[in-house]
Structure 1
Amino acid sequence: MAEKIIIIGAGISGMSAGCYLQMNGFDTEIFELHNQPGGLCTTWDRKGYHIDGCIHWLVGSRPGSGLYDAWNELIDMEKLEIYDHDVFYRFEDGNGNYINFYNNIDKLETELLEKAPEDKAVIMDYIGAARRFSKLKMPLGKPRELFTLADGISALIHFGPFMPLLKKWSKVSIASFAGRCKNPLLKKTLGNLFVPEMSVVFVMITTAWMHNKIAGYPIGGSLHFSRLMEKKYIELGGKIHYNSRISKILTRKSDGKKMAHGVITDRAETHYADYVVSAADGHNTLFEMLEGQYTDIKTRQFYENELTFPSFFQLSLGINRVLETEASSLIFPLSTPVELEPGNIIRDISVRVHSFDPTLAPTGKTLLTAMITSSNEAYWSDLRMNDFRKYKAEKERITRELTEAMEVRLGPLSLHLEMSDLSTPATVVRYTNNWRGSFEGWIMTPKLGLFNQLPMTLPGLEKFYMAGQWTAPGGGLPTALMCGRGVSQLICRKSGKKFKSRPFNA
């Protein structure tokens, strides 16, 4: 009889773990608090528009990296339509000046040197590193817990030529790197590449991936992508219980050791298993489901001291016209500043023009989305719980003020507006339970470094594993995929099985 494994969370990591465990002869069930798969990798419908909430680019979208091989074990990648953006984003200052941050390294070099020749040294540092990283082929890899001496030697040979650059730029934040610029337009352009506290090496490598066309966008959006993984998991014999929030992980003592052996749902239903895997929120898992009993110093210090990605608002607008000539991603000044929450006033906005994906809007119409960071999830969760009328009024105010302030650049949006929607940090918590409403987990800061991870096992607890973005700084879909794959490899070893997988349709 197959060993039973309960997985908490039907995000990308949970479904990845489920698929690989099913491939290796385990009997798995996933419990998910939402009514659909994907976690943050999702889409929602409003008035005929499909609002995408996640994928901007998918690392491993085409052959050329180990990540493609891994995705192709769970999704038929040959049938997935991929769109490669020409421009990462276009940054405008409102005075007619702009920089197109091209994904092609040669075009990017020409653009940056033309717009900011006084910053040639900074530009060539970025371009030189991106060119070098474009030669780096990322292997499929396996969990650190399974590394042998031979694996270490192989990794050293593979990454050795790139280690000086990796070490150098992992110690510099995006904000610090941008701060070297003399040209104010270039300074703001580089400063908006991603979360400013993150190591600049992350965006250098991203530019390399984009240049190599292995980080494109999958047409159909995020929920379509998640549904493909869900389909594979169910075809492999897995089961998903939706609307099933886990309140407690059961443990018992056997032969002097504590081990996980099941879960209790918020409806007081008890389910038993041989193993439990949490691919859910890390803080909730450790300090609520397990009541803080199985943490070591390193884990507690992570949760006390390390930076998490911020929470966010997402403004979505359905426009009854086509915006084909615009870049797919724009950053530009608002006509007037907008206060989103106490102390959070924004003057620029980053807008995604989804004309590149015809599945997200009716013919002849366009979906616009703007993801805006927030550092005050508690304010919005408290407001929603204690004064829902004010919560709704604030959402309406922010939507109105942002839409009006965007018209200086995008024209009379109100005349063509068919749909508007604003999700808040409280929305993120409601649907994903992510700690602080974070959109990816731990930020890979210069302080944290490239390879500082939390273990997938916990001290003093057998037959329990953690997977997902709360174990691996940097976050993102590839991290979720590989954590799910990695935890499956660990369980196979524990059960005395040789891990196996196969490409789609092999």
Structure 2
Amino acid sequence: MSREHRPVWERRPGRAPGEPPRVIVVGAGIGGLSTGAYAQMSGAETRIFERHVLPGGCCTAWSRQDYVFDYCIEWLTGTGRNNDAARLWRELGALDGKTVAHFEMFNTVTDETGRSVTFYNDPDRLEAHLLELSPADARPIRAFCRDLRRFIGINLYPFLTPPPLQSPREKLRTLRAVLPSFVTLWRTAATRMETFCARFQDPLLRRAFPFIFFQDHEVFPLLPYLFNMASAYHHNAGFPQGGSLGLARSVEERYLGLGGRIDYRSRVERVLVEDDRAVGVELRGGERHYADHVVSACDGATTLQGLLGGRYASPRTDRLFTELAEEPDQLYPGVVSAFVGLKDELDPAARHSTTYLLSEADARALPGCMQNSLVVQLRSRYSDGFAPPGKSVVHCTYFSDYASWKQLRRTDRKAYWARKQEVADFVRGFLERHHPGIGRAIEVVDVASPTTTERYTGVRGGSILGWKSFTPADDVITGLINKDRLRLPGLDGFTLAGQWFGGGSLIRAAASGRFAVQYLCRDLGLEFRAWESGGTEPWHPGKLGRLPQLEKRRVT
């Protein structure tokens, strides 16, 4: 909606009896869309202001030459049925009318010599495969697969209600789910993956296990690996049709269908505060909109230092953004993505996802490469519509240092583009080495750096996932949700949501919106309500809408 035709939410003297409360949400990422949808379901009148032209934040896509480059989702927790994560997505309409792609393995890891290990989700198949690779490692192999079988029997997805608001019945249900598996959960949460890997004699297995999730998450214990592999076994960690932007578009459609509205190209400059109460927002250009409550679901540092001018904080937000943000291993690094459009079909026998452990020479040649690894995903296998008929898309990613990309773009734009070209050239050569003949089929290569992510989404440091789980930051976020109730002391009428305050994954970002509305319903005198969308219209690629091109200039 253009500014010329956008009505202003004027200040009103007071809410009349029966008049719905107004809620402004800053940011149309998954956390913001979730907040808006649940507030609409609960009887509020909401409005979302978004700086970009698309919903979803980092959950996005863009196009080149009729190819769709899907940026975010590798798997989505909650694509199945009969668990809380699935219920949340179905309340938000995220999976309406969609098929879901499920894969029999999470990832394949290949070392410099060509040896490979495949991480099947079926524990029996995984155990047989690993024992064939390294019979000498029977003890740790059987231990891991035994735990995977135990996790397959666990169905715990606490994404519906924050603990302070759970009824005695809900708490009892959670307790019953946790107690039988408490020892397994505690032990696997206390065992670092790197500690477990030291038990392997085979060098490939010792190096490969941390890359089950494509890149080494470094601080993770065993628990999340087992949890997600078990979810995939149950078809509860698949890839939804339409991918990342498709997910955002579906939640956007659900929100708009509930009567909400989104103003795109509308950058919020500050939150309006009177007598320590948030009363509205001011947009770039000076336009002001007033509401009974404001929810910020955008970048965390932008919220605290930009929108609020550094005037309000809590011990927990101070710990997150002034202490932990500067410590190593608390934030996910930035990501470099190289999308490759091919004019041919992909080899049907090729794995859908492979992490290649790079030689020292290759790692030096790949600009800003961390962890000496490159992930290659055959994205055309994930969903229809990512490539024109008869063509394919490959997505190559690696963790990379944000600061070096940022400095180069700020000081030497020509060198910045030359560095992107180095990535494109490396990817072309690397794919040709591992898939001979593929070079002749490449039509386009598009490279996005961590600074690209920051520029188009506003996310701090180009970090798609934000805070790492199983770190002190995770504990602080738990306190922010359960103790502070997503509020800042001394500031009324204001709530926090999104990945920076609810945790760094799509399901946790969506849950933060649900939690935020459950808390604010009490303040606004509303009954929290939620129900599944039930939409049945089949998904099709046209629902993605018009896709932008992130850069006018491109690598070749």
TM-score (norm 1): 0.93
Q: Matched residue of 1:367: which SS?
A: strand
**Contact 1:334–1:406 at 8 Å: present in 2 too?**
no
Q: 1:348 to 1:271 in 2, by over 3 A?
A: same
Of residues 58-67 and 156-165 in structure 1, the stretch that sits farther from structure 2 once superposed is 156-165
Aligned partner of 1:414 among 427, 439, 442? 439
Amino acid at match of 2:30: I
**Where does residue 72 of structure 2 map in the other structure?**
54
**Where does residue 501 of structure 1 map in the other structure?**
530
- Counterpart mapping for 1:270-285 below 5 A: 270-285=288-303
Of residues 48-57 and 157-166 in structure 1, the stretch that sits farther from structure 2 once superposed is 157-166
Structure with greater strand share of residues = 1
Of residues 421-430 and 260-269 in structure 1, the stretch that sits farther from structure 2 once superposed is 260-269
* CA deviation after TM superposition for structure 1 residue 149, in Å: 5.4
Root-mean-square deviation over aligned CA pairs: 2.1
**Contact 1:334–1:408 at 8 Å: present in 2 too?**
no
Alpha-carbon distance in 2 for matches of 1:179, 1:348: 19
- Counterpart mapping for 1:376-455 below 5 A: 376-445=401-470, 452-455=478-481
Structure 1: runs of 5+ lacking an equivalent: none
Aligned partner of 1:368 among 391, 394, 400? 394
Q: Matched residue of 1:471: which SS?
A: helix
In the alignment, is residue 222 of structure 1 matched against residue 247 of structure 2? no
Identity level (%): 32
Amino acid at match of 2:233: H
**Where does residue 269 of structure 2 map in the other structure?**
247
Alpha-carbon distance in 1 for matches of 2:199, 2:313: 40
* CA deviation after TM superposition for structure 1 residue 191, in Å: 1.8
Alpha-carbon distance in 1 for matches of 2:489, 2:373: 46
| Alignment size in residue pairs | 500
**Where does residue 354 of structure 1 map in the other structure?**
379
Alpha-carbon distance in 2 for matches of 1:268, 1:182: 64
Q: Matched residue of 1:332: which SS?
A: strand
In the alignment, is residue 190 of structure 1 matched against residue 205 of structure 2? no
Alpha-carbon distance in 2 for matches of 1:366, 1:49: 8
In the alignment, is residue 321 of structure 1 matched against residue 344 of structure 2? yes
Structure 2: runs of 5+ lacking an equivalent: 1-18, 536-556
In the alignment, is residue 311 of structure 1 matched against residue 346 of structure 2? no
TM-score (norm 2): 0.85
- Counterpart mapping for 1:15-414 below 5 A: 15-75=33-93, 77=95, 79-139=97-157, 140-147=159-166, 151-194=170-213, 195-253=217-275, 258-303=276-321, 304-305=323-324, 307-323=330-346, 324-333=348-357, 336-339=361-364, 344=369, 347-356=372-381, 357-374=383-400, 376-414=401-439
Alpha-carbon distance in 1 for matches of 2:226, 2:126: 12
Q: 1:343 to 1:61 in 2, by over 3 A?
A: closer
Alpha-carbon distance in 1 for matches of 2:291, 2:94: 31
**Where does residue 462 of structure 1 map in the other structure?**
492
Amino acid at match of 1:359: G
Alpha-carbon distance in 1 for matches of 2:472, 2:129: 32
Q: 1:495 to 1:486 in 2, by over 3 A?
A: same
Amino acid at match of 1:112: L
* CA deviation after TM superposition for structure 1 residue 346, in Å: 6.3
Q: Residue by residue, what CA displacement relative to the aligned partner does 1:89-126 show, whole Å, maximum 9, x if unpaired?
A: 11122434211111222211211122122222322332
Q: Matched residue of 1:182: which SS?
A: coil
**Contact 1:315–1:420 at 8 Å: present in 2 too?**
yes
Alpha-carbon distance in 2 for matches of 1:497, 1:157: 31
Q: 1:311 to 1:227 in 2, by over 3 A?
A: same
Of residues 57-66 and 93-102 in structure 1, the stretch that sits farther from structure 2 once superposed is 93-102
Alpha-carbon distance in 2 for matches of 1:75, 1:340: 44
Alpha-carbon distance in 1 for matches of 2:521, 2:466: 27
* CA deviation after TM superposition for structure 1 residue 150, in Å: 5.3
